[in-house]
With several copies, the nearest count.
Chain A
Amino acid sequence: MSPQCPNSDLFSQLRSEFPIFGTHPELVYLDSAATAQKPRCVLDAERRFYEEHNANVHRGSYALAIAATDAFENARSSIAGLLGVASDELIFTRGCTEGINLVAHSWGDSLAAGDEILVSTLEHHANIVPWQLLAQRRGVVIRPIPLNAAGQIDLPAYQALLGPRTRLVAITQAANATGTLPPLAEMIAAAHAAGALVLVDGAQGVVHRADGPAALAADFYAFSGHKVYGPTGIGVLYARRELLANLPPWQGGGEMIERVSFAGSSFAPAPQRFEAGTPPIAQAIGLATAMRWLAALDAADLHAHETGLQHRLETGLLDLPGVQVLAAATPRAPITALHFAGAHAYDVAHCLDARQIAVRVGQHCAHPLLAHFGVSSSLRVSLAAYNTTDDIDRFLVALGEALELLA
């Protein structure tokens, strides 16, 4: 492994920072694209908040409430700093899905019938269904961006779809079902040239230290905490300040208002205008801790570690008959989706489970993408910083035996 993985020692020690592997020493966790495991420091940070600073934020004038508000707002500015954007451009949400829904309502409801949104065929349902619901509400037209035979965005077709009615391009940073990395830079430049905004679904990007919204020049960027080593119940939506300034609120309640009377209410500036009610305070603090933890890893080392493991995996697969890697020829995040000629993916996953090897099987909330490949389900291996060569080797052995049993 050493050529691909200069710091495999460092990364094999990482595993010990994750309490779940203390509980399940034999666990081979290959489902990080669904949710990542959490390092101890994240769990500690959340707990410390409850034990030392717990109070509601923004409204209290006593010491504990001030400490809680500072901790919460420091979490926001810490995350903003890591993403290279301003604090008041970040909205805390429940997760990536809620962030996209927020845009689909708050921004989307101003669209007119006939306006067009281009949605790629690589997308997770979270970046499809909110646009379909918007289409129903407003008569907006959803145009799917097709894929070429390799499973990559069909760039000429995309360019042809961009037109004067195109208002938004909704595109993932990495396809959760196949790992495919779309040509974001070209796509975003082309969209902007056509006068359209771009929403990037960063759910599978942040965890692998992909470019943030600033580097991408994305107009909207959404991701989930639980997929980047953070807690459940928290996510982030970035939106450019000039956009946010003009967006109406979506949800109403405390925190997001300036004055309320039955005659009419006025709203607070962003980001508060978009954070109605008590926010996920402890979770925001946990997420900031997770992102700082991730940022402390050397990006190049992390990349070498994760792609090195993926290379070892896919090299090993060549020895097994009837195994197809979906979208194999596209540049991919450390996600490998498998289809088996002679076995049902569910049955394979079941056999792996008997050896504590956790993989995801099914359609991965990406029905259109699976339909593109003409398969009804696939088995997905997704990698994270804590995975080891041992994980890959155990997976390969178990997969080989499962395919034999099921043949």
Chain B
Amino acid sequence: MNPSYPHHPFGERIDKAALQTRLEAAQGWEAKNRLLVQLGRELPDWPATLRDDAHLVSGCESRVWLHGEYVDGQLRLYADSDSRIVKGLLALVLTAYCGQTAEMVARFDAEAWLQTLGLQRFVSASRGNGLRAIIRHIREYR
């Protein structure tokens, strides 16, 4: 494990089922927003030195930095953003992908999952660009 990327609980301590419960409890868009902000707070900021162009995912409205690598066949994934809400979204993405095998990463339909969580707004043709760019990036780690 690379010590320079801050450790985060998503995909480990916090799993998809736990998040699903929390998101379902958040009724309505405003409550979901609050929850995303809260999740974003649980995702630690990266040190400024890592927030560089090499980690930047282009195609997002706010800046998103991403790092992934496979260790013993399992994906380790780290992410950061200058937007709190996008960080919340990244927390969801990390939960879905961290610790997964390459095959599962290739197969998992993150957009559909976010839809079931009531976050279709982030998956639409216009907003989806950022999310899609992130997922495309994740799928390219080897």
Contact = CB atoms under 8 A, between A and B. Distances in A.
Interface of A: 57-58, 60-61, 63, 65-66, 69-70, 73-74, 343-344, 346-347, 350-351, 353-355, 361-362, 376-377, 405-406
Interface stretch (B1-9, B13-21, B65-73, B124-132): B124-132
B29 interface: yes
Interface of B: 28-30, 33-34, 37, 61-63, 82-86, 121, 124-127
Contacts of A350: 33, 85
B23 to A, nearest CB: 15
A361 B86 CA distance: 15
A45 B28 CA distance: 29
24 contacts: A60-B126, A61-B61, A61-B127, A66-B121, A66-B127, A69-B124, A69-B126, A70-B124, A73-B126, A74-B125, A344-B62, A344-B82, A346-B62, A346-B86, A347-B62, A347-B84, A347-B85, A351-B30, A354-B33, A355-B30, A362-B61, A376-B63, A405-B34, A406-B37
B27 to A, nearest CB: 12
Contact of B126 (A65, A362, A377, A405): A65
B121 A63 contact: yes
Contacts of B84: 343-344, 347, 406
A367 to B, nearest CB: 14
Given A344-B83, A350-B85, A58 B29 contact: no
Contacts of A63: 121
A353 B127 CA distance: 13
A48 B125 CA distance: 20
Given A66-B121, A354-B29, A406-B84, A346 B126 contact: no
A376 B62 CA distance: 9
Contacts of B28: 354
Instruction: Report, nearest first, the 5 A-B pairs whose CB atoms are least far apart.
Output: A69-B126, A354-B30, A354-B29, A344-B83, A73-B125
A303 to B, nearest CB: 34
Contacts of B124: 66, 69-70
Contacts of A347: 37, 62, 83-86
Given A346-B86, A347-B37, A70 B125 contact: yes
Given A344-B84, A406-B37, A66 B126 contact: yes
Contacts of A353: 29
A362 to B, nearest CB: 7
A358 B84 CA distance: 19
A351 B126 contact: no
Contact of A346 (B30, B83, B125): B83
A311 B63 CA distance: 33
A74 B125 CA distance: 9
Contact of A405 (B37, B61, B62, B86): B37
A344 B37 CA distance: 12
A343 B86 CA distance: 12
A59 to B, nearest CB: 9
Given A61-B61, A406-B37, A69 B125 contact: yes
A74 B33 CA distance: 27
A80 to B, nearest CB: 13
Contacts of A346: 61-62, 83, 85-86
Given A66-B124, A70-B125, 4 more contacts: A57-B126, A60-B126, A69-B126, A351-B33
A405 B127 CA distance: 22
Q: Most chain-B Cβ atoms within 10 A of its Cβ — which of A60, A65, A377?
A: A377
Contacts of B34: 405
A377 B82 CA distance: 12
A329 B124 CA distance: 39
Contacts of B83: 344, 346-347
A346 B84 CA distance: 9
A359 to B, nearest CB: 14
Nearest to B31: A354
A65 B124 CA distance: 11
A350 B85 CA distance: 8
Contacts of A354: 28-30, 33
Contact of A70 (B30, B62, B86, B126): B126
A376 to B, nearest CB: 8
B119 to A, nearest CB: 12
A126 B101 CA distance: 47
Nearest to B58: A258
